[in-house]
Amino acid sequence: MLWTQNTWVHGENRAAAYRCQNGHVLDPSTTRECPICGVHDTRIVESSRDGQTKHVCNACGTRFAAETGDPST
């Protein structure tokens, strides 16, 4: 993943985003960093009411849980 500036558009505002080699752009507010390989190419596979979300890394397949609203974990 490549960190880019001014890529993600929210109305009149622009924010940074992650862009993969295939050109896909990921909103950093919804993407979590994989604790094993460090890549920001993950997806949510389950959400719970207690504020936890379960993710899987698209690069290495690691499954992990993170707090909702904390994209740095």
DSSP-assigned letters across all residues of 11-33 = TTEEEEEEE-TT--EE-TTT---
Is the residue at 73 inside a domain? no
29 and 69 in contact (C-beta within 8 Å)?
no
14-68 residue pLDDT tens:
677 777 777 777 777 777 889 999 887 888 899 887 888 999 998 899 999 988 6
Is the residue at 72 inside a domain? no
Domain around 35: 2-67
pTM over 0.85: no
Q: CATH number for the domain including 24?
A: 2.20.25
CA distance 17 to 5: 6
Is the residue at 17 inside a domain? yes
